[in-house]
Chain A
Amino acid sequence: MPSSPALPGAAVVVRGLVKRYGDRAVVDGLSLEAAPGQVTAVLGPNGAGKTTTIECCEGLRAPDEGTVHVLGLDPRTDAAALRPRVGVMLQDGGLPTGVRAVEMLRHVAAMYARPRDVAELVERLGLASFARTTVRRLSGGQRQRLALAAAVVGRPEVVFLDEPSAGMDPQSRLAVWELVHELRADGVAIVLTTHLMDEAEQLADVVHVVDHGSVIASGTVPDLLASSGTPDGETSVRFEAPAGLPLDGLSSALGAAGAGTGPRWTVAEPRPGSYVVTGPADPAAVAALTAWLADRDALVSSLTVGRRTLEDVFLDLTGRHLR
């Protein structure tokens, strides 16, 4: 893959990565970079190649083609030098199940010369309530928090987090996000994979959208929101109402009401009962929308007027079909 010059001081540089399982290329010419003091999100649908890419960065898999450098080192050949400087949280946890949570954390801490204070980390991530519980009995969210603690206990310079918020309750997610912000402020390069849009929007400085094994869009969240889809002056209006409304006449009803002329409105019901209309939304258009709904005796349970979200961009880029 033609390569742009690396970010000065980039912590992770992946160039033209290819990884095949059998004759299927799961990662196919993927390139990305991650900088110190930034959160880099690798966003993509299931099966896009996110985890395989991260595992190549962690030295757990050998690339078939392309290069991977972490802190300027090769994760396969310089593994011994790299391991003390890199923290890893695997998607499937990788926690031994037969020990208590805090024993597991102490054990990982023992691998480092100057680990973080285990007690402080237990407090920080709210692990105290289950510190003496066997890992086998922890909930999904508790295991995730423990795995995150294990990833950062060695004071890493680069942290790879594979789906860090999977299975977490909202409180846990907030605690994790706070810790990620703190690591970023300390200059750590954080690379996380996620398929959660709000996580990428909340956390990421840079987002790489991955599909079918390669990066199809990169940039900051505002960049991505601005670059694709909605032309200037268009706004999405989302509303919740009874499912299955006949939307045929809505577009022209809105067009007649607003300043815009012609069929500039798009109308969709992406999920039953959840509608998105996009166009030159102004007060008159919103009034016309609610009047149209009132004519059909449909009560609106929520209505928001606002910009597109990362989810819209993502669905535009990767398509809406299930896989």
Chain B
Amino acid sequence: MTSTPAPTTPHPSGAAPAWRRVAAQAAFETRMILRNGEQLLVTVALPVILLVGLVQTHVVSLDTEGATRVDFVTPGVLALAVMSTAFTSQAIATAFDRRNGVLRLLATTPLGRGGLLAGKVLGVLAVEVVQIVVIAGVALAMGWRPDVAGVPAALGAALLGTAAFTSLALLLAGVLRAEGVLAVANLVLVLLVVGGGILVPAGRLAGPLAHLAVLLPSGALGEAMRGALLGHGVPAFSVVVLLGWTAAFGWGAARLFRWH
């Protein structure tokens, strides 16, 4: 060895407290989503356009079961907003972060893998708060009068839906190539909006879809949101379905997620 002995400088290294690391990651994720034009289009603009379109025009005829059009449509649009953020947007963002090595780099900082996951979930919830405020604001301006007593149950349903759809997002993002995730996540969103019982109640869908959709996480979330905000209560069946999908997707993501 030709080098001189190293001076023993103290290294005051150490991690920031866990809550600060996770909070920083959540803020970082939220900023990245809200600053991305395409993500904003899918998560905020699309639901608002659907809401206004379905309420103000009669292009789509709806049997509102005696409720006003806005009362009937808004819970489904909120469910769609949750799905677009927790699933489509999160799957695409995570897939590209995985491809670009962002997940691996952050996993080597004190944040770690657990902190990264927690930051992502909190980031999703923060974006959902923005979505709910915007959509509810537009709906209220159009005369939406939700059942106030059902609001806590609706928030609970939104949390459950977030858990199920975020798990699915991580499963896809951790298994498929980024380009594949981009295609699949958008396709699944469109299919679930059309035939997944999220905007149109499952029972109103054609043929076997009526039975299938209540078993899908989209149908379960849609039914739960409508039940809570229209004052009928959240169907227990929907809660069971959402919990089941969360467990299945979560198990799959934990087992199959590849960091490289």
Taking Cβ atoms with an 8 Å cutoff, the residues of A that contact B are: 35-38, 58-61, 79-80, 83-86, 88, 90, 92-99, 103, 107-108, 110-114, 147, 150, 154-157, 184-188, 205-206, 220, 222
Known A-B contacts A79-B112, A154-B110, A187-B9; A96 and B3 likewise in contact (beta carbons under 8 Å): no
- Is B36 in contact with chain A by the CB < 8 A criterion? yes
Which among A95, A107, A186, A188 is the interface contact of B100 at CB below 8 angstroms?
A95
A80-B109 Cα distance, complex, nearest whole Å: 9
- In addition to A88-B109, A99-B28, 4 A-B residue pairs with Cβ atoms within 8 Å of each other are A37-B3, A60-B104, A93-B100, A111-B110
Partner among A80, A92, A103, A112 whose Cβ is within 8 Å of the Cβ of B112: A80
User: Please, could you name 6 A-B residue pairs with CB atoms under 8 Å apart, sorted by A?
Assistant: A60-B108, A83-B109, A84-B110, A88-B109, A94-B105, A157-B11
Q: For the complex, would chain A's binding face be called helix, strand, loop or mixed by DSSP majority?
A: loop
CB-CB contacts below 8 Å: B105-129 with A: 105-112
Query: Any chain A CB within 8 A of the CB of B148?
Result: no
The answer to whether B7 touches A37, judged by C-beta atoms less than 8 angstroms apart, is: yes
Contacts of B102 in A (CB 8 A): 94-96
What 1/0 mask marks residues of chain B from 10 to 45 whose CB sits below 8 Å from any chain A CB? 011111110011001100100110011000000000
CB neighbours (8 Å) of B106 from chain A are 94
Q: Which B residues between 238 and 260 are near A, CB-CB below 8 angstroms?
A: 259-260
Q: Is the CB of B2 within 8 A of A222?
A: yes
Residue of A nearest to B5 (CB): A37
Q: Is B152 an interface residue (CB 8 A)?
A: no
Interface residue total, chain B, C-beta cutoff 8 A:
42
- The yes or no answer to B61 lying at the interface (CB within 8 A) is no
Q: A83–B9 contact, CB under 8 A? A: no
Assembly CA distance A296 to B25 (angstroms): 69
- When the two chains form the complex, which single residue of B1, B21, B28 contacts A220, counting CB atoms closer than 8 Å? B1
Residues of B within 8 Å of A188, CB to CB, are: 11
Contact A83 B110 (CB under 8 A): yes
Known: A107-B28, A112-B110, A205-B2. A84 touches B9 (CB 8 A): no
Given A94-B101, A96-B32, A187-B6, A88 and B13 touching (CB < 8 A)?
A: no
Contacts of B57 in A (CB 8 A): none
Taking a contact as CB atoms under 8 Å apart, the answer to whether B109 and A96 are in contact is: no
**Which chain A positions have C-beta within 8 A of B32?**
96, 98-99
Complex formed: what's the CA distance from A92 to B105 in Å? 10
Residue of A nearest to B36 (CB): A98
Question: A225–B77 Cα gap in the complex (Å)?
Answer: 71
Q: Quick check: B6 and A205 within 8 Å, CB to CB?
A: no
CA distance A111 to B106 in the complex (A): 10
By a CB distance below 8 angstroms, the chain B residues around A61 are 260
Residues of B near A111 (CB, < 8 A) are 15-16, 21, 24, 109-111
Q: Which residues of A contact B13 (CB under 8 A)?
A: 84-85, 112-114, 154-157
Contacts of A110 in B (CB 8 A): 16, 20-21, 24
Q: Which residues of B contact A36 (CB under 8 A)?
A: 6
A268 to chain B, nearest CB (A): 31
Q: With A and B bound together, what is the CA distance between A180 and B16 in angstroms?
A: 25
Contacts of A150 in B (CB 8 A): 105
A206 touches B1 (CB 8 A): yes
Complexed CA–CA distance, A103 and B12 (Å): 23
Partner of B108, one of A83, A157, A186: A83
Contact between A60 and B259, CB atoms less than 8 A apart: yes
A84 contacts B108, C-beta separation under 8 Å: no
Q: From residue A321, how far is it (CB to closest CB) to chain B in Å? A: 29
Measured CA separation A155–B12 after assembly (Å): 7
A88–B110 contact, CB under 8 A?
no
Q: Are B12 and A114 in contact (CB under 8 A)?
A: yes
Contact B35 A98 (CB under 8 A): yes
Alpha-carbon distance A268/B260, docked complex (angstroms): 43
A108 to B4, CA, bound (A): 32
Give Cα distance in the complex from A99 to B102, angstroms: 12
In whole angstroms, what is the CA distance A108 to B21 when docked?
Answer: 9
Complex alpha-carbon distance, A186 and B4, angstroms: 12
Residues of B within 8 A of A185 (CB): 7
Of the candidates A98, A103, A154, A222, which one forms a contact with B109 in the assembled complex, judged by CB atoms under 8 Å apart?
A154
Q: Are B24 and A83 in contact (CB under 8 A)?
A: no
- How distant is B95 from chain A, measured CB to nearest CB, in Å? 13
